[in-house]
Amino acid sequence: MNTQALLTPNNAMNRVRYGIDRMFDTMVPAFVRNIGLTDARLTGPSVNLIEDDDRLYVEAELPGVAMEDLEITVADNTLTISGARSLSVPDDATPLRQERGELVFERSLGLPTQVEVDAVEARMVDGVLRVTLPKASTSRTRRIAVTQG
Amino acid sequence: MNMHANNTDSRTTVAPIACCQVGECRTLTKHPHTFRAPVDVYEAEDRFIVLADMPGTTPEDIEINVDGSTLEMTGAVTDRYDELGSISRQEYGLGDFHRHFRVGTGIATDQITATYSDGILTVNLPKHPAVEPRRVQVTER
């Protein structure tokens, strides 16, 4: 089997590399925020938009993000999702591999139809956020019965 | 700026050393249509901890197998859009998550436990208790 050991915490070079990576990982998002630019971490997360006759559903994968660290607003037909995820490091543990990272994100999405702003609901289930936006009555799909003349 | 860079170094396998107890297998051909869940690995005094982002699955749909020296983690994701409606904008795909790791002999594979909450899978891999070094007495005949 083609296996490869990737974890060598006792290797001094890896420790130095880890330290430098962590430094950049914490500094860069703050710097980018301060000068008003954005990077991938700040513009995410990716969203999916699903639609039925009466509602829009916007979904985003946000594992480990607590509902209280999340802000969802709807204004001018734009949905904005912003928040942060902090990593909970197990007690007395040394990181050997870190792919997940902390997140600070903000995402805006123009909605294809008018929605009932007061009736918007958001739920987080198993790390997936789903925002349910009922369509405004004027935007709902109406089936017109065709009568024979 | 992530630890992805780690994938390219440490080219050699030094299996018996404790620090290499949880190394990633690079053979992914068995699972070509799954998503690679991002993973953090931590080492504590008595165990290794693997955290994997697997949003949208459930404890029942997660399968963790230890076969010899391979730890395999799969989180099945059902197509939850089926009953919702039609997708009018798709920026990410739905699919199963998968990762597999090589675990060393220093891990008590029969005592591995796992929990799932908020879309994060946490796998605890306890180490075997340390074997005390023993000096063999040489006697005169």
- Sign of the torsion angle spanned by Cα atoms B10, B106, B68, A91: negative
Q: Residues B98-122: what's their mean pLDDT?
A: 91
pLDDT at res. A30: 60
Chain A hits for B86, Cβ within 8 Å: 50-52
Q: Where along chain A do its domains lie?
A: 8-37, 42-87+100-142
Q: Where along chain B do its domains lie?
A: 27-126
Is B39 in Cβ contact with A100 (below 8 Å)?
Answer: yes
Buried b / exposed e over A91-119, threshold 16 CB at 10 Å, is eebbbbbbbbbebbbbbebebeeebeeee
Whether residue B30 has pLDDT greater than 80: no
Amino acid (one-letter) located at A145? A
Whether residue B96 has pLDDT greater than 50: yes
pLDDT at res. B18: 33
Contact B61, B78 (CB under 8 A): yes
Whether residue B137 has pLDDT greater than 70: yes
**Counting Cβ atoms within 10 Å, is residue A138 exposed (0-12), middle (13-18) or buried (19+)?**
exposed
pLDDT at res. B116: 96
Chain A hits for B42, Cβ within 8 Å: 89-90, 93-96
pLDDT tens digit string along B61-84? 999 998 888 899 999 998 888 888
- For A3, left (φ over 0), alpha (ψ -120 to 50), or beta? beta
Nearest CA in chain B to A40: B1
Q: What token pair was written down for B35?
A: 């998503």
| CA dihedral angle for residue A108, residue A113, residue A119, residue A120, rounded to 10 degrees | -30
A62–B contact, CB cutoff 8 A: yes
CB-closest option in A48, A100, A128 to B40: A100
Render B20-41 in DSSP notation, one character per residue. GSEEEB---TT-TTSEE--EEE
Give the whole-angstrom CA distance, residue A62 versus residue A52: 23
* Residue listed under structure tokens 């630019």: A37
Measured over all CA atoms, what is the biggest interatomic distance in chain A, rounded to whole angstroms?
A: 85
Q: What is the pTM of this model?
A: 0.70
CATH 2.60.40.790 fits B27-126, yes or no: yes
In order of A25, A121, B34, B36, the CA distances from B96 in angstroms are 28, 27, 5, 9
Give the whole-angstrom CA distance, residue A27 versus residue A36: 14
Chain A hits for B68, Cβ within 8 Å: none
pLDDT at res. B22: 65
Give the whole-angstrom CA distance, residue A126 versus residue A62: 9
The interface pTM score, or ipTM, of the predicted complex is 0.72
Q: Is A19 helix (H, G, I), strand (E, B) or coil?
A: helix
Measure in Å the smallest separation between the Cα of A148 and chain B Cα atoms.
31
Whether residue B121 has pLDDT greater than 60: yes
CB-closest option in B5, B12, B19 to A10: B19
Give the whole-angstrom CA distance, residue A58 versus residue A50: 6
CB-closest option in B27, B51, B84 to A52: B84
Is B85 in Cβ contact with A7 (below 8 Å)?
Answer: no
Give the whole-angstrom CA distance, residue A6 versus residue B14: 10
Using 70 as the pLDDT threshold, list the residues of chain A that sit under it.
1-11, 25-43
CATH architecture of A42-87+100-142: Sandwich (2.60)
A102–B contact, CB cutoff 8 A: no
Contact A133, A49 (CB under 8 A): no
Chain A hits for B9, Cβ within 8 Å: 6, 14
